Amino acid sequence: MSTAAAIASTTYAETYRPQFHYSPAQNWMNDPNGLVYYNGQYHLFYQYNPSGSTWGNMSWGHAVSPDLTHWTELPVAIPQDDADMIFSGSAVVDTKNTAGFGSPGNPALVAIYTAANKTTGNQSQALAYSTDGGQTFTKYAGNPVLDIGSNSFRDPKVFWYAPGNEWIMAAALSDQHKVTFYSSPDLKQWTHLNDFGSAGATGGPWECPDLFPLPDPSDPSKEKWVLVVNLNPGGIAGGSGAQYFTGSFDPVHGFTPDGIPPAGTSLGSFDTGTFDGLTPTGTAFGSGPATGTLPGQMPVTGWAGAGYASSFNGGDASTGKLSTPDFNINKNYLNFLIGGGNHPYVPGQVTPDGIPEGTTLADFEGADYGSGWQTTGDFMNTGPASGTLANQNPVSGYIGNHLVNTFTNGDGPTGSITSPAFTVSHRYVNLLVGGGNHPWGSPNPTAVNLVIDGQVIQTATGQDSEHLGWISWDLDAYQGRSASIQIVDQNSGGWGHILVDQIMSGDHPVSVAQDTSVKLVVDGRVARSATGQDSEHLDWTSWDLSDLQGRTGHIEVDDNNANTYGGAWAHILADQISLSDTSVPAVLQRTHWVDFGRDDYAAVTYNDAPDGKRIMIGWMNNWDYGQAIPTSPWRSAMTIPKQLSLSLINGEPTLVQNPVDQIAQLYTGQPAATQNLALPPGTTPLPANGQAMDITATFTAGTATSYGLKVRDGGAQETLIGYDNATGDVYLDRTNSGNSGFASSFPGIQRAHLPTNNGTVKLRVLVDWSSVEVFANDGQLVLTDQIFPDPSSQAVQAFANGGTATLNSFTATQVSSAW
C-alpha cells in the first residue's frame, strides 16, 4: 500500500492512537531524524519500515508541520536500496550552498545519514539532497562522504558552526561509548577533530548524539553547550534512555564537560605545575603533571583544572608511582578522578620493586654473601655486586643496593656460590633471577638450584636479560627437609653469567603486580583501590572511609604495568584527589537524564528553529518491548515537541523542558479547575475526565507519606503520578495502567529525585490515548511513559497515602485531536 493510500485508509481514531503526538498512518517507526525548519515548515524525518510493523527495511519516513502540532505525512523521503539501509542522521539547510547542490535563492535541504551496508554491516556517512523543499531527495553520487571502516559509527548530527565558518558533525562510536567530532567546509570532505567519552552512563551502545548551545544560566550573554547522548540499554529506568552533559565546545578542544569538584581537603590537584607534594618514583609520571594529551596517546578528557597525573610518559612501557605523604583520615570520603587502563590491584601481589611476604633467606646486602655461604672457582673471595659491573649492560629488577652478579670479570669467570643448609618450613621459595639462559642439565649451565640430599630438586636460569624477574618454587613435598641454594656459573661464553637476589621462603608463590591503580594504604596494607576503564576519560570515584576514621594512611598512584605481554592501556590517569565530607554520587545517579521515564529515546533537536528556539523530539518507545506494543496498524509515536532551556538548580546547569506553546491550539472547552482542596487519606475525585488532557496540579504534603494524581482511572485501571515524601522522589506508576501483558518488563514504577519548592510540588501532566508525560516543577525533570488503558478509563482523581495533603491548585484542559 502506498503512503497516500495508507493515510487515506487510516481513521486516526483507532484504539491507542495518539491524538496530539505524531504517529505514522501505518507500519513501524523509531528514531526521529533530520529535524530541521525550512520555508515555514518543521520537517520530521524518522526511521521507518515501509513494509511492516516491526523494525526492518530502514528508510527515512517524512512528515511536515507548520506548528509542531498538526502533521502531514509525506511519501518516504529516502528509501533503502539494494546495498544500504538508511540509518539515523540529521538535515541542514545549506544556505551558503557550500555543497553546490542548490542555486541562488533556492538552498538545498541536505540530509546526512548513516548508510548501513546490508552485506558487511559497515556504517558510513552519506548525503542526500533536495531542491524542492524536501518533497524528493537525490542520493549524492560521491557517497559515502565519511567511512572509517567501522560497524559502530553512526547517527551524524550536523550543524553550522558560525565562529569557524564550517560544518560540525557529532557522530557515535557506539561500541566505544564515544562521540566523535568532524568538521567540513562543504559537507563532502570531513576532517576528524577529537572525541568525547567514555563518560556518564555506559551500560549500552551510545547512539544519536546531539550537540547544541543554550544561554548560560549563570550569564545569559554567554553560551553553554549541551551534548545529548542516547544509549540502549543502560537508561536510568531500564532499557533505552537519553543522557546529557553540559560544558564547553570548540573545534580545537572538543567538548569539555562541566566537572564535579567536591569541596574538601586537597591531597593532589596537579594544577601548580608540580605533583603537589606527591613523591614520584620510576619514569612513568615524568617530571611533572600532564597539561594535555601526551605524545602517542589518544585524546584525554575529563581532567579538572590545569593539569593531571599521567603515567603515559614514554608510552605504555614505562612504570612508576606517585605517593602522598602520610595523612590523618579525618573525613568520611575520598574523591578523585581516574582514567586509563583497567588493570586492578590484586591483593598479595608485589610491585616490581617490592618484597613478598615471608622469611628472608638471603638479600645480599652485606659485604659478603652471608654467613655460611661457600664459594668456589673464580668466585672465591668475591661478594655481592653493587648493581651493574664494568662493561655490563645496565642491570635492573634487583632490590636494595646489592645482588649476586657473576659478571665479575666479564662472562669468563666460572664457579659456584652455595648457601648453608636450611630447613624447608614454608611451601614456596621465591627469588629474583636474571642473566644468561643456560639451564641446569645443559652444557655449561648458568643456573640457581635448590639442592636436597645432593639432588637438584628445583632450578631456574636467566632469559638472556640483565633484568631480574621473580621465580617461585613449590616445595610442598619437601617440608621439614634440609636444603641449600646453589648458584652455578659454568659458562664462559656469551651471556655466561647469572644474577640472583632476594631469596625468600613463604606460604604463597610470588605474583608480580601489573596494576594501573589508585590505592589507599593504611598501616602498610592496601585498604582501598580503583583502576581505570580502558578509557582516556577521567571520571569520578568515591571511597567511603567511615571505618578508617582517625587512622593514618597515604595515597599511591601506581603504574606497575610495563605492557610486557602486549595489549594496551598500561597507564593510569588521576586528578583532584581530596578528602571530603561528601561523596560523589555513583555514575547513574550523577548522570543527567533527559527523561526519567521509560519511553523517550533517540531524543534530538531541530536545526534552524525560529527565534533561536531549541526544540527537542524523542521516540516515545523503548527497545525493551517496542516491537510488541499493542497498536495497529502503526507502531510507535513521537514525544511532544519540547522547548529547551538551562536553569541553575542547586548551583548546577540543568536542562529544563516544557511542551511547546503551540499545543494550546488544540485546547477545547473550559478548563476544569479547583483549588485549596484538602485531601484526606485515600482517593478524592476531581472535576475532570478524558483520554487526552493537559493537567497542572500543585500539592503541599501535610502528613501524607505520598500524594498525587490518578489519571486514566477506571475500575482496576489507573496510572499514578505521585510524590514520595520519604525519598523525595516524583514517580510514575503504570503497574495497573491497562494492557501490559505483551512484555514482562513493561509494568513498573519510574522515579526521579525532586526537591520540593518551599514545600510544594508542581506537576504538569500531558495525557494522551496511550501516553503520559510528566513535567515536574516547571520542567526541571520529565518522565515519559506509554500506557494502554481501556478507552473507558477516563477519570482523574487525587490521592494521599498515610496522612493528609493539600491540592493547592488544579486545572485540566481537554485536548482535541490534531488529525
Question: Which residues are annotated as catalytic?
Answer: 31
∠ CA 584-585-586, nearest 5°, is 120
697, three cell numbers? 496540579
Interatomic CA distance for residues 666 and 692, integer angstroms: 10
The vertex-280 CA angle with 275 and 285, nearest 5°, equals 80
Gap between the Cα atoms of 583 and 41, Å rounded: 48
Cβ-contact 480, 424 below 8 angstroms: yes
Nearest Cα neighbor of 693 from 715, 716, 656, 719 is: 719
CA 338, 342, 346 angle in degrees (round to 5)? 105
**Alpha-carbon gap, residue 213 to 162, rounded angstroms:** 12
CA–CA gap between residue 760 and residue 779 (Å, rounded): 15
User: Does 287 sit behind a cis peptide bond, omega within 30 degrees of 0 on the bond before it?
Assistant: no
- Cell representation of residue 275: 605533583
**Residue 9: its H or E element:** helix 3-9
Q: How far is 431 from 360, CA to CA, in rounded Å?
A: 10
User: How far apart are the C-alpha atoms of 38 and 253, rounded to whole Å?
Assistant: 31
Please name every residue paired with 795 in a beta bridge, in sequence order, or none if there are none: 689, 713
Residue with cell 533530520: 34
Q: Which three cell numbers stand for residue 312?
A: 603515559
Distance between CA atoms of residues 556 and 515, nearest Å: 12
Instruction: Check if the beta carbon of residue 404 is closer than 8 Å to that of residue 499.
Output: yes
Contact yes or no for 4/75 (Cβ under 8 A): yes
**Strand, helix or coil for residue 661:** helix
The Cα 249–Cα 258 span in angstroms is 11
Close Cβ partners of 651 (under 8 Å, ≥ 6 residues apart): none
Cα angle 676, 677, 682 (rounded to 5 degrees) comes to: 150
Q: Return the number of other C-beta atoms located less than 10 Å from residue 522's C-beta.
A: 17
- Could you tell me if 294 and 312 are in contact, meaning their C-beta atoms sit under 8 angstroms apart? yes
For residue 692 the three cell numbers come to 487526552
Specify whether the CB–CB gap between 448 and 440 falls below 8 A: no
Phi, psi of 155 (to 5 degrees): 65, 60
Contact predicate 304/537, CB 8 Å: no
What would the grid cell of residue 16 be?
Answer: 491507542
